[in-house]
């Protein structure tokens, strides 16, 4: 489809391995231009290679978020971080900088305000919880200069509200409480941008630093209040989940739905809420 950017990516992907015979064919069948320049030069191939590399992340993101047999809603925020880092890295590229700023403007227009569904799905990934959510908002704050301090607190409050509705409807199925077990693994992949040091963002100005401190302070100031509100609203199951240690299984082999299935006795109500959120398909929402 000539109006889709992914057709450009696929064309370049299949063309570049054959650049030498293609160049020979063009030179043999098409004369030089009036000013003596060749129709295809090495510089053209350099630009083509750079465009291919640039489009690769967007192609992979589209494929990953178009999945229908695996949870995609908890992946959105991961790719928001990846794309924000990507756009920052290419901001001063001599060949691509003219198109980067319009892309940044579109990114900010559609994704600076993160939909609550995706925040819930991210927090209900036992590898993230509130610790990971706080870190990912800090990364996005440094990358987009957006203050997410109020959003972080508001998200937890809204999550508690939604849980209370599930508690009211499904609370009778609660059987018993046990301490959730922790899984462990040293392999890391999609979580590197979230749990790695923020040293790559150290070049951000003082304004971002002050915003970061305000986020941290606000989190500390409101943590007790949030817990008290949760306790008073019978959200003990949610509080226990959020305050337990994160699961340290940061590779692609982790089956998030299976984890919730294994913990349905520990978190009977929350496991229902988690599966409802995690199984919403991104490809259906934005199709």
Which pLDDT belongs to residue 207?
A: 46
Positions in the chain short of pLDDT 50: 176-180, 183-186, 199-224, 226-228, 230-233, 287
Answer yes or no: do 121 and 36 share one domain: no
Distances (CA, A) of 69 to 190, 255, 283, 287: 19, 12, 11, 16
Which pLDDT belongs to residue 31?
A: 75
Retrieve residue 209's tokens. 């630093």
Using CA atoms, how far apart are residues 206 and 227, in angstroms rounded to an integer? 32
Answer yes or no: do 45 and 114 share one domain: no
Instruction: Tell me which of 18, 39, 63 is where a domain ends.
Output: 63
Using CA atoms, how far apart are residues 86 and 100, in angstroms rounded to an integer? 10
Residue in 83, 157, 144, 78 with CA at minimum distance from that of residue 116: 157
Q: How many C-beta neighbours within 10 Å does residue 36 have?
A: 6
Answer yes or no: do 215 and 145 share one domain: yes
10: containing domain: 1-63
- Spatial CB neighbours of 119, under 8 Å, sequence gap ≥ 6: 77, 133, 155
Answer yes or no: do 175 and 231 share one domain: yes
DSSP designation for 67: -
Answer yes or no: do 9 and 86 share one domain: no
Instruction: Tell me which of 14, 46, 63 is where a domain ends.
Output: 63
Strand partners, 184: 248
Quote the mean pLDDT of the chain: 82
Answer yes or no: do 46 and 99 share one domain: no
Answer yes or no: do 134 and 27 share one domain: no
Distances (CA, A) of 243 to 76, 118, 129, 131, 240: 23, 20, 8, 9, 5
Type and span of the H or E element at 179: none
Residue 267 and residue 239 in contact, taking contact as beta carbons nearer than 8 Å: no
Which pLDDT belongs to residue 85?
A: 96
Question: Helix crossing, 97-111 with 76-89: angle to 10°?
Answer: 150
Answer yes or no: do 232 and 134 share one domain: yes
Using CA atoms, how far apart are residues 126 and 96, in angstroms rounded to an integer? 38
Which pLDDT belongs to residue 208?
A: 44
Which pLDDT belongs to residue 15?
A: 94
Using CA atoms, how far apart are residues 76 and 79, in angstroms rounded to an integer? 5
- Spatial CB neighbours of 26, under 8 Å, sequence gap ≥ 6: 39, 40
Answer yes or no: do 111 and 30 share one domain: no
Residue 238 and residue 159 in contact, taking contact as beta carbons nearer than 8 Å: yes
Answer yes or no: do 76 and 178 share one domain: yes
Which pLDDT belongs to residue 251?
A: 81
Which pLDDT belongs to residue 217?
A: 43
Residue 4 and residue 59 in contact, taking contact as beta carbons nearer than 8 Å: no
Residue in 90, 190, 180 with CA at minimum distance from that of residue 143: 90
Retrieve residue 263's tokens. 């913990």
Residue in 152, 155, 154 with CA at minimum distance from that of residue 215: 152
Answer yes or no: do 85 and 59 share one domain: no
Task: Provide the domain count of the chain.
Answer: 2
Answer yes or no: do 273 and 253 share one domain: yes
Using CA atoms, how far apart are residues 54 and 87, in angstroms rounded to an integer? 9
Residue in 246, 274, 272, 256 with CA at minimum distance from that of residue 67: 256
Which pLDDT belongs to residue 1?
A: 56
């Amino acid at each position: 489809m000539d109006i889709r950017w992914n057709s450009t990516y696929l064309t370049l992907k299949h063309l570049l391995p054959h650049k030498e015979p293609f160049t020979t064919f063009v030179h043999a069948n098409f004369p030089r231009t009036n000013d003596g320049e060749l129709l295809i030069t090495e510089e053209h191939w350099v630009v083509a290679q750079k465009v291919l590399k640039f489009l690769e992340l967007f192609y992979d993101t589209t494929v990953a978020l178009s999945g229908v047999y695996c949870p995609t809603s908890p992946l959105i925020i991961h790719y928001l971080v990846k794309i924000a880092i990507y756009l920052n890295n290419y901001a001063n590229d001599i060949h691509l900088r003219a198109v980067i700023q319009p892309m940044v403007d579109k990114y900010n227009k559609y994704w600076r305000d993160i939909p609550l569904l995706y925040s819930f799905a991210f927090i209900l990934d036992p590898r993230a919880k509130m610790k990971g959510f706080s870190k990912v908002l800090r990364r996005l704050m440094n990358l987009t200069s957006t203050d997410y301090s109020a959003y972080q607190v508001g998200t937890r409050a809204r999550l508690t509200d939604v849980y209370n509705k599930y508690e009211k409807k499904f609370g009778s199925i609660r059987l018993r409480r046990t301490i959730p077990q922790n899984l462990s693994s040293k392999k890391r992949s999609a979580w590197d941008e979230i749990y790695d040091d923020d040293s790559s963002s150290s070049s951000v100005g003082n304004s971002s630093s002050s915003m970061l401190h305000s986020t941290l302070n606000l989190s500390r100031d409101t943590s007790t209040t949030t817990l008290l509100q949760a306790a008073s609203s019978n959200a003990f199951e949610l509080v226990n989940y959020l305050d337990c240690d994160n699961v340290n299984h940061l590779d692609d082999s982790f089956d998030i739905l299976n984890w919730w299935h294994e913990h349905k006795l520990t978190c009977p109500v929350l496991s229902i809420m988690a599966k409802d959120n995690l199984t919403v398909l991104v490809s259906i929402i934005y199709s």
